[in-house]
Structure 1
Amino acid sequence: MSEELDARETAAALLASVGALLRRVRQVRVEGELAMPERAALSHLDRIGPTTSAELARREQITAQAMGATLGGLQARGLVERGADPRDGRRVLLALTDAGRQALADKRSARTEQVAQALADGFTPQELEQLAVAAPLLDRLAQRI
């Protein structure tokens, strides 16, 4: 087999298995969980800091109206706040509140706990070690795409 064939086979296997893992994790509901668009908006605000609704919509590749509805719900729950742009008072910036940061952390913790339980219940110590070694490689792969 050529190296390219191995890379393609590996890519296909990774996409299938990581995709299945993500779908399954998303299917299992956690009490009080954020909806996918809400989590995405909060995650972006956490990573990039205060920004406009239009910029969030562009990053998520959804309409401004859809993002506005998502942000309205998040604001009503106290997870995001609106404020004037200090450089251009005509623009409104959205920022994550402390409650928004906590909701995002809680979601991440719940998902981590969900996966940790599955690992503890069905994997040998050697398999856990293999997965631990693979995690940084998957992160590096994600950074290269």
Structure 2
Amino acid sequence: MDDDRAVDTVASALLASVSLLVRRVRRVPVGGGLTMPERTALAHLDRLGPTTSSTLAREAQITAQAMGATLAGLRSRGLVARRRDPADGRRAVLSLTDAGLRALRDKRDERAELVARALERGTFTPAELARLAAAAPLLERLAENI
């Protein structure tokens, strides 16, 4: 029973702290000209590979219409390409262009720099930095198991 409470306590603490970190990082504006929905669509295309608009909408938990508008803007800027699905010519498949991948990487790099600056401010000891580094792969594995 104590193990169950310990797991619940760890789960609550992790969710609260990671959520706060993500909210703070997202709140700080960075360059690149990508809105949050655009960044989300590009990130899903990067992770999933070529896919349909409806799949992207499901992944992002938004309406198909909202995803369609987001993708139209990305296509007009050359960040996303659209082609017929070879398996079903009635459907369109979307994919990242080289420019889209660069825009996504630039946005990720800027956010990583933001976190790096926060880590460099001297509020973390070398031992704490090592613990954070060790926790990163564990957090990734936790996310993959959800």
Q: Structure 1-normalised TM-score? A: 0.94
Is the contact between residue 37 and residue 70 of structure 2 (CA under 8 Å) also seen in structure 1? yes
Report % sequence identity.
63
2: distance between equivalents of 1:136 and 1:58? 27
Distance 1:117 1:98 in 2: 28
CA distance in 2, matches of 1:56, 1:91: 14
Give how far 1:114 is off.
Answer: 0.6
Name the counterpart of 1:22. Answer: 22
Q: How far apart, CA to CA, are the structure 1 residues paired with 2:139 and 2:32?
A: 29
Counterpart of 2:112 in 1: which secondary structure?
helix
C-alpha displacement of 1:136:
1.3
- Secondary structure (helix, strand or coil) at the match of 1:3 reads helix
State whether structure 2 residue 15 is matched by structure 1 residue 12. Answer: no
Q: Where in structure 2 are there 5+ consecutive unaligned residues?
A: none
Matching residue's letter, 1:53 = S
Secondary structure in 2 aligned to 1:82? strand
Residue 117 of structure 1 is matched in structure 2 by 117
Question: TM-score under structure 2 normalisation?
Answer: 0.93
The one-letter amino acid of 1:77's match is R
**Number of residue equivalences:** 145
Segments of 4+ in structure 1 off by > 3 A? none
Aligned to 1:95, the other structure's residue is in SS state strand
Does residue 129 (structure 1) correspond to residue 130 (structure 2)? The answer is: yes
**1:10-55 CA-partner distances (Å, limit 9, x unpaired):** 1111111111000000000002342221111111111221111111
Report what 1:36 is aligned to: 36
Offset, 1:90: 2.1
Do structure 1's residue 139 and structure 2's residue 114 form an aligned pair? no
Secondary structure of the residue aligned to 1:93 is: strand
Q: Is the 8 A contact 2:51 2:95 kept in 1?
A: yes
Q: Tell me which amino acid in the other structure corresponds to 1:135.
A: A
- Where 1:54 maps in the other structure, the secondary structure is helix
Q: Do the aligned partners of 2:71 and 2:80 also contact (CA within 8 Å) in 1?
A: yes
**AA partner of residue 128 (structure 1):** L
- In structure 2, what is the equivalent of residue 100 of structure 1? 100
Aligned to 2:66: 66
